[in-house]
Amino acid sequence: MSLADVDQTLHIAPNPGGFGAELTGLDLSRPLPPETLARVKAAFLAHGVLWFPDQPLTHDQLEAFTLQLGPFGWDPYVAPLADRPHILEVRRDPGETAAPFGGGWHSDWSFQETPPSATILHAKVVPPTGGDTLYGDAVAAYEALSPAFREMIAPLKVVHSAARPYGPQGSFAREEATRSMKILSSPEAEKRFTHPLVRTLLDGRKALFCNPVYTLAVEGFAPDESAALLSFLFKHMTDERFVYRHRWSEGMLTMWDNRRAIHHATGGYDGHLRVMHRTTVAGDRPV
């Protein structure tokens, strides 16, 4: 099969409303031709969440696909696979009682100075029930706000930190239930970075850039004012109008745009094994 034939097999099927799309017809175990890779990147920007069913990938192939999109991101506070510093195993064993990793609405590593542009998750073992991932469209949520409200929040900045989950007194450090994943709580997690509340995407669209897990406060606001504004935004962003529920299958690779999407891992699969392998793609400082 020629490279042109590979490109011609790509099929993009967006969700109603355009947030999220299924891509079929590609073999991600091999390097994508430049034209095809450009189409995948364009679809990623347009739809925010992409999934590729039936992609049985080795570690080498997962890393190679990630690097086609950009350099690896920095993944702190979770121990990677022993021989793969850029692959995290998101695992929950059948007898595990700890809450699923990634529960709570968030944008991956938004507490970093340059948060990752993309997260890639490859399904290795999928339980027969539960384990869906919810994605919230922060572009649609922003656009649904009134013009006056958008004008009011345009200049605001918000403070992000990993302290609440990963700090020395964070939720993981205080966790009593056993967990198969090794969490690396650290004083480094208490560092703070300030980012725009509204960030501009590569295509010029604007998205809300805040989340309940890592966003602590609105810069310059009194605590009660900050809490009220953030509470409104978090409720607004996770309204069912903006949420897509993603169901997994074994071998599926899913990638999402952390600049646009927030997400939340659900449970519902107690007594079953679930294993995913995760990489991130480096990003830029939000503007």
Q: Which of 86, 106, 260, 277 is catalytic?
A: 106
Does 108 participate in catalysis according to the annotation? yes
Catalytic residue among 160, 199, 263, 277: 263
Which of 32, 10, 31 has the alpha carbon at shortest distance from 21? 10
Is 106 one of the catalytic residues? yes
- Residue 168 DSSP label: T
Nearest to 172 by CA among 104, 110, 89, 101: 101
- What letter would DSSP give residue 188? G
How many other β-carbons are positioned within 10 Å of the β-carbon of residue 274? 23
Where b means 16+ CB within 10 Å and e means fewer, 54-78 reads ebebeeebbbebbeebeebbebebb
The catalytic residue among 86, 199, 274, 278 is: 278
Catalytic residue among 47, 75, 86, 108: 108
> What distance, in Å, lies between the first and last C-alpha atoms of the chain?
42
H/E stretch holding 38 reads: helix 34-47
By annotation, the residues acting in catalysis are 106, 108, 263, 278
